[in-house]
Chains A and B, each alone.
Chain A
């Protein structure tokens, strides 16, 4: 069968540095094909060339056997290739219909928009794929998952035969992801070819039919998912055998480190009580809107307290602002790395030192030597890969950016580490590093609280899990009792 999209020997260099050397890919109609690789493997470069966002240096792209070359995304769309980007960019104050048909609105006389037709057309499109979304809803009223479905509907509205999904689940919880997978299954049924990019291997094994692995800008291997297992795939992606996906050698002590009683916040948290111990990694699991992030916000003084008490190592503390929390020895790696973790316009060093400026400058005047030493220590301990600490943090890969956020917090010498989705958008190799750091922190007597919507990660790392639902505790599971089914059962 002729592939709907076939790419050979695709190459691209940026100022002399090759990002992609021989991109190869064969996509069959009616299949889901996972494109795998670590950060820097060349996946993004590959996709941006296929979409006509960047121009190739060499290689051939064939669409249904015909050689093509796109100089803009509009040309790619006209040829039936559409991409749903990782960072969604809807116009929040416009309706679903207006977003989907932006620039292609049906018109009446005098250039007026024919809203009746527009809305009907959109509703037909959404209903046709079984997406339970109203065409006239405002984008800002939708959940992230629904927004994603709208983006997919938009891609489909161009009659695309090749649909590229770049990390579509990175902002979704498990339950929302299920809707997306159902939608993908239907696309497959209708003969579309789906290119699926994700760092979450469990998803790839759940929905993909075939895989292609890139590493260091080169094609490594492709084949059917049925013929490969997870360990083999990881090995292809990182280029060396990985003994274990997770690293965990901490042992929880019976000594309580953090005890919260009846914790309540103005929004999202309604009377939660639990205790975390020294040396423990406590998993917090819940669907979107369950209050999992809100618990952290409340513990860190980012949301308005409405009640409840917090005890650290047996002493009651009041936390009203992040300053209080930091002083109490709490550190918080937020879910949104770019939005609230990093100052993207600043250097690696400035970001690392951001939460410890007081300590680094007792007189108010910065001591460059102190800063340099702190940054150097974290770069070494966390194995942050950067040519220099003066480099802009924006130029680092996702995994290394996440390590910079962790480093910023380790410099505050915390006792409690709050991690919200610590490995989101991080490749397999860097994930392991983050697990190693977590484990070492707990082993040294620290306490880790980790929110994750990846069940594998919770199962692999947590000593104990509390499950949240609607801002309340829905249950607690010890490591021995953990299973994906139980977690989901409690959370849903």
Chain B
């Protein structure tokens, strides 16, 4: 007798339901199959590794963004943090004599650690402003977007930091077993993030805070601490992305990373994470980032102008969210 009016929410394994549940994965598979048929250059080891390597930076950023968006937040500052952390880390890793860090280049690991700490610190500032002072995330991180870019230019004097040490560059250009290092970084980040979100207490907290902050608070969860932590994670991962980018380029550019936050948000949204918080998976984000990567690569291979690529990406983002909406329209 408790069968109620909402029975419709039950699982129905119709073709439509499957298409909606695995829509992004199917889209990625379709894109790959199609590209395999129309371009002989797509399905080659070299090209696939290339796509993965190109996706690594956006993928890492998007994974951090997923944590933030799951708590109903947003982090607009990651693009600027990519530049700031790249420049700061590189200043410790440059072999150029004009460097202003005494004794540079420092050991690569130390330079990398400094980059990560700078990213986490900036994330911590955003997180404090959001959690403690209750400023909307959009505003707090918009401020950080501008401030971090300014700090980058101040720190570097507006000039690139060239001639990075061999060891530092390895993280962007090296390879293990024939696979570029950034791909390992991306997959490693994904594995850790996936574990944290699905298997740990902190992961549950993130979903609960995004799903219903009031209920989370009443249930004794450290809501402010969780809000703070997700921005630290996002900032730290922005640092990781900034280091990879600088290492790959061989020099850190203060103009790097402009608008990267938009691609990261796009990957999260395409991956099915709700901007309203509480719903989403980091695996969806990875697939979303890969879809963007494959699409960019495929359109390149087909010789489509990059202007069109932007239009197509825009359509993809909106289409993904529309599909999501139709899935949840039962209310």
Contacts and interface: CB of A to CB of B under 8 A. Distances in A.
Interface in B190-243: 199-205, 207-208, 210-212, 214-222
B279 interface: yes
Interface residues of B, number: 35
Contacts of B274: 345
A370 to B, nearest CB: 11
B12 interface: yes
Given A345-B211, A357-B201, A364-B201, A40 B218 contact: no
B10 interface: yes
Interface residues of A, number: 53
Contacts of B279: 345
A427 B94 CA distance: 71
B1 A358 contact: no
Contacts of A353: 204
A334 interface: yes
B2 interface: yes
Given A366-B199, A366-B204, A385-B2, A342 B215 contact: yes
Contacts of A360: 201
A264 B211 CA distance: 32
Contacts of A144: none
B216 A343 contact: yes
A355 B208 CA distance: 11
B215 A343 contact: yes
Contact of B207 (A239, A332, A350, A399): A350
A374 to B, nearest CB: 13
A40 B2 contact: yes
B329 interface: no
B243 to A, nearest CB: 27
Contacts of A336: 214
Interface in A347-395: 350, 353-355, 357-358, 360-361, 364-366, 385, 387, 392, 394-395
A340 B201 contact: no
B200 A395 contact: no
Contacts of A302: 217-218
A445 interface: no
A45 interface: yes
B215 A15 contact: no
Contacts of A407: none
A216 B3 CA distance: 8
A226 interface: no
B84 to A, nearest CB: 31
Nearest to A38: B1
A169 B217 CA distance: 28
B208 A354 contact: yes
Nearest to A321: B220
Nearest to B276: A345
Contacts of B220: 321-323, 325-326, 355
B199 to A, nearest CB: 5
B5 A334 contact: no
B45 interface: no
B218 A322 contact: yes
A453 interface: no
Contacts of B8: 14-15
A344 interface: yes
Contacts, number: 123
A155 B12 CA distance: 38
A204 interface: no
A38 B3 CA distance: 10
Interface in B262-300: 274, 278-279
Given A354-B215, A395-B9, A343 B4 contact: no
B6 interface: yes
B212 A357 contact: no
B226 to A, nearest CB: 12
Contact of A334 (B3, B202, B218): B218
Contacts of A14: 5, 7-8
A397 B7 contact: no
A345 B3 CA distance: 20
Given A14-B7, A346-B278, A341 B215 contact: yes
A44 interface: yes
B201 A40 contact: no
Contacts of A357: 201, 204-205, 221
Contact of B208 (A40, A343, A358): A343
B12 A15 contact: yes
A2 to B, nearest CB: 30
A39 B4 contact: yes
B211 A344 contact: yes
Of listed B3, B4, B205, residue having the most chain A CB within 10 A: B4
Interface in A46-62: none
A19 interface: yes
Contact of A343 (B5, B199, B211): B211
A215 interface: yes
Interface in A294-332: 300, 302, 321-323, 325-326, 332
A111 interface: no
Contacts of B4: 19, 39-40, 395-397
A239 B215 contact: no
A340 B208 CA distance: 11
A33 interface: no
Given A45-B5, A345-B278, A361 B215 contact: no
Contacts of B216: 343, 354
A169 to B, nearest CB: 21
A322 B217 contact: yes
A339 interface: yes
A122 interface: no
A88 B133 CA distance: 31
Contacts of A38: 1
A365 B219 contact: no
A346 B206 CA distance: 12
A402 interface: no
A395 B207 contact: no
Given A343-B278, A344-B212, A350-B204, A17 B7 contact: yes
Interface in B245-260: none
A17 B3 contact: yes
A343 B1 contact: no
Interface string A436-472: 0000000000000000000000000000000000000
Interface of B: 1-10, 12, 199-205, 207-208, 210-212, 214-222, 274, 278-279
- Closest A-B pairs by Cβ, 4 of them: A343-B211, A340-B214, A40-B4, A385-B2
Given A387-B10, A408-B219, 14 more contacts: A45-B5, A340-B218, A345-B210, A345-B212, A345-B278, A346-B207, A350-B204, A350-B208, A354-B219, A364-B202, A365-B201, A394-B9, A395-B4, A400-B2
7 contacts: A14-B8, A15-B8, A322-B218, A334-B218, A345-B212, A355-B220, A395-B6
Interface of A: 14-15, 17, 19, 38-40, 42, 44-45, 215-216, 239, 300, 302, 321-323, 325-326, 332, 334, 336, 339-346, 350, 353-355, 357-358, 360-361, 364-366, 385, 387, 392, 394-397, 399-400, 408, 429
